[in-house]
Amino acid sequence: MNQMTATIGRWQGAGLMATTLLGTGVFILPQMTIEVAGSASLLAWLLLTVAIIPVALVFGLLASRFPHAAGPAYFIEKAFGATAGRTIGLIFLLVIPIGAPAAILMTFQFLDALVSISGIGQLVAELVIVAVLLLLNIKGIQVSAKLQFALTLLIVAVVAILFGASGLNVDQLENFAHSSHPQFSGVMLAMGIGFWSFLGIEAMTHLASDFRQPQKDLLPAMMMGTVLVGVIYLACTFLLLMVPIEGEGLAMILAFDYFLSNTFLSGYGANIIGILGIASGLATVNVYAASAARLLWSFSKEGILPRYFDKLNPHGVPFRALFAILGAMAIVIVVTFYSKHELEDLIAWSNGVFVIIYLLAMLSAAKLLSKRYLPLVIAGCLFCIGLGIALGTNMIYALVLVLVIAPFMWWQKAHLTRKYLLHNNEG
């Protein structure tokens, strides 16, 4: 078997997109943005949502017209050649085993709200999560797509219930706004923090071939998921601004118990928010694992990487590539545990890699899409450039990866070309 099975529909795709973006930050990032920008965090989330829409549109247009397991690497290769495309593909592969375990560690903040796990117990729990990701993917992405669609509905329902219970206490929000004096720098810092929530748009393009009708369903699924996520983050931020937060801990749990104090759900904030936070965080890692496995399979099939990874199981899943990606995650988790390094420190470096991927994907769209989409492409490029400037020295990791991998990819392409010509001449 050498073809993947297309099983995802529009609504399942929207669920995958939404839970991927909500991920580890759905009940954490609003609190963080309020801490740096106060009531202006609402403006930060609004601007960020508007700014990311052109990027999501361009990715959706590219993926629906050129569905391929390599995702952005394929678009960039079509526009700028094999060396550029393969370089982008490899830096994506190299960042996933680091960024995904970091996301798992962030997810454990929700687990702490339910039960305290430390020491070797935490390591075992993290490795169990990796095993669960394997079980979710081994029979195809459609299994987790259905689960993640249901998870999206649950998160939306919880936020809607809280919004309704809040009574839309606008007066309290206005009082908060008048008592604070947000600065432009605070808004920009909040947007920088919030960008983590929209990492995952490019991951959906790797799953384009898993859609039954990518030309019809992929773009609507990506846009519905992106807009829904922006609305949820705005709603969560609005809710937190109306709650008198005291002490430490996850503010969304306090908000849940505050607004529902007179209902039968009173006191269940830690349980409900904790479980949804854990599930959403795992959903993000799940999509990235599936995306990276498909990219590794694609590169193996094309001879860029060893042929060992080009096998599919009866469900159309690149199981060897999936084992390799999840195995690398497990190794990084173990090494990090015993070396006492915090993977969260590498998140900013990971963001730098995604800035490069996003920017080159936008530039490839300028060549591959109709000129009528040029305003969207320009808006996407400006967003990426601005974000790269904001990251500053954290871009060094991504630039070093490019400088190391690009020459190797150029040499490999030249070597294969010479080998091909020599074979033809001898024939």
Split into its structural domains, the chain has a count of 1
Amino acid identity of 154? Answer: L
pLDDT tens readout for residues 345-387: 566 777 888 889 999 999 999 999 999 999 999 999 998 998 8
In the chain, what percentage of residues exceed pLDDT 90?
11
What average pLDDT score do residues 91-98 get?
Answer: 79
Has residue 3 been placed in a domain?
no
**Three-state DSSP class for 8?**
strand
| The predicted structure's pLDDT at residue 1 | 44
Within 13 A of 95's CA, how many CA atoms are on the CB side? 30
In the chain, what percentage of residues exceed pLDDT 70?
87
pTM equals 0.76
| The predicted structure's pLDDT at residue 36 | 81
Has residue 298 been placed in a domain?
yes
Q: Residue 40 sits in a domain of what CATH number? A: 1.20.1740.10
Has residue 2 been placed in a domain?
no
Residue 420 has pLDDT above 70, yes or no: no
How does DSSP assign 195-250, residue by residue?
GGGGTTHHHHHTTGGGBSSHHHHHHHHHHHHHHHHHHHHHHHHHHHHTS---SSS-
CB 46, CB 331: distance < 8 Å: no
pLDDT band of 249, cuts 50, 70, 90:
low
Higher local confidence (pLDDT), 318 or 341: 318
Return d(Cα 227, Cα 280) in angstroms, integer. 17
Has residue 52 been placed in a domain?
yes
pLDDT tens readout for residues 275-333: 888 887 777 777 778 878 888 888 888 888 888 888 888 877 888 998 998 898 888 88
Residue 10 has pLDDT above 80, yes or no: no
Has residue 4 been placed in a domain?
no
Residue 247 has pLDDT above 50, yes or no: yes
| The predicted structure's pLDDT at residue 251 | 80
Has residue 190 been placed in a domain?
yes
Has residue 5 been placed in a domain?
no
Has residue 1 been placed in a domain?
no
Domain that holds residue 270: 10-426
